[in-house]
A and B are shown apart, each in its own frame.
Chain A
């Protein structure tokens, strides 16, 4: 497969691939280009690059090695058709991936056709990793499920090692998406997604074969499956449900896939999806001989928590996330987190909400959109908690039944739209380690350059504490500063913050705390140290809120903008990971009663997932006494936490909107008797006076 060179690959003037003066060393540009290819999920033809830039070849080889793309073209010729490998005769190449070539082959003794995934010979140098790969593969081999590509076994002979597995007839979803994309660019409406791509009028052909509107599993699909670009939501849901079934089975057997992405969803002859490459991702990392190794291939489908491979536990919900991203891409033909390089993609996975699928493809039904959006929530706790739930909702959609996922209401939408570029939210939702992973990847890339200083990407705004912390971290990593030293520095800043609190310099304190939060998020401190730090920081932050509260109350700020600054500092702490800090901030804002805090409070309410923090904010909203909060509070009637619903009910009662009875209508059939009761008694009491 040839790569399409990205737009900026024009040769520098003065040579076809010749390195110019040191100042115009083409390497950085080539590496950027390569990273973009890797990120886009496409494969790199290493030979082509080596040919194009002969002067760079040693350094390119090094790069391919560290990025885990060695062993492809650089690694000796592929197995030609007709050659044999033990009991197998190679029929032809099917494709290549991060782990080597995949061939169609005949297993001579059993006279059956199989797919062979042959590991790059470079990988064999690491016998321990090969052994782990074998163990993983054999664990997966025990899974038997119609929606999972069966693994027959693993063999190592001479200088090759390979996996033998069930041969799946059709394209993978990545190829299908490619076809859909190209059809869209060329203004074609119908796309054949099985068998060789046809030119000409697919629509005519498909109508003749009565293929349009078929669903996976329908009898006609043996002849081929045709996608109508205007209407394939049901097919996508059916694919998703199949993949979710496969996941459910694997999860029940304790196997996490870890690498769900379009190229691992294969379309079977029956028009249904089979999932391949279960549980292999972990061993792939070992095999790929990379030092940083966190991202082999494309990170686009990696869940926020998954990137943090070292400390965060990756669980079933990471697979759910990745399947959600896969469906997002299938439905919209856009990757939700496309970026210019690995770091950029990861940063987006962390910091941005993708556009709602229906904005990219207005034909996506609302319910399916809701399902996909729920699956790709950044906070694992907000996603489907099991593959079964996910699959069930997709099937409900397919059967035109009501789904269980709730669309983001006005509260969530408001919060998302007014989200300011602040760090605090990320704290509660995302693992810091994700950011660390970004840093590691970037740092390792710069080491390939041989450079020590990391350049600040132009779009980084340095007054964002998270971004400055990130840059500081890059620099530290590039300079080889050990973790311990970095943590000590964080502890030292904590002590300074304490001193600043004593001095009463609240503006400076606010900046210090924001920067500390960012640094802590980026560090992967040992749990004990983190706990210690948290308890120290808690008292500083509580102290900060009190001091800020007092300063506002006593009119210390003098100017309106000064007061706003102090209020902003309190509002920032509403998003603090520590519920006690949030409680203090909420209490202070409720007490001060400044209407301008309403937005920040609603914002925080939408972003916190802990019950303590949310109920504190709700109570404070009641004291703020702004009718603007009413619709948002009324919406909490849907909240799964009874304590939150109850707090919302109390707050509404105290805000006493004109149409109280109407506003409280939703609580009339609350699942909890005591909540229903409170509503009734309150309304009755009001009726009396």
Chain B
């Protein structure tokens, strides 16, 4: 094996993915027989955020893109996230984080037999309307000789679930509020939401954007 006489210096530009510890998905799968069919892979991020609840992917079918840096391809997996089996999902877009780890066969039992599961997230099914709006509604009701009930101070809450958590939709339930108050922050259990972060502070690695920082004015501010 001879070293080439001169190697071009390659400078890699991009965000340093400091929170990742592992390999690319395709790096692991391309080194396995049958492209890892039937094997289990886990993500380091999940291990750190929810160490007691098992999260893993069981490979059903993999089709690598075989690009130079092993970052593209499609893999169909059976996704168990935080102890809940979500069924078969297709992973094709975010496989460029080197955060994946292969679970060896003798370690699989530990993951598979772990029965800790994510509890359902209970959020309120209604929210208190803003006080000014309630006041005006009351005044309006008085003016038109209509009754104004307690129920009219609240409106039904339609949850807006971020696409990042779309797979958790079956586990996000809404229930009537036990302790009503004027403030929505008092009605939601913060632990239910913080549970989505798990045990790790959020580390968001900004994706690379070209150009220097700038200010984009969002609103027209009239000249004084």
Question: Is the A/B pair a real complex?
Answer: no
Interface residues, chain B, with chain A CB atoms under 8 Å away: none
Interface residues, chain A, with chain B CB atoms under 8 Å away: none
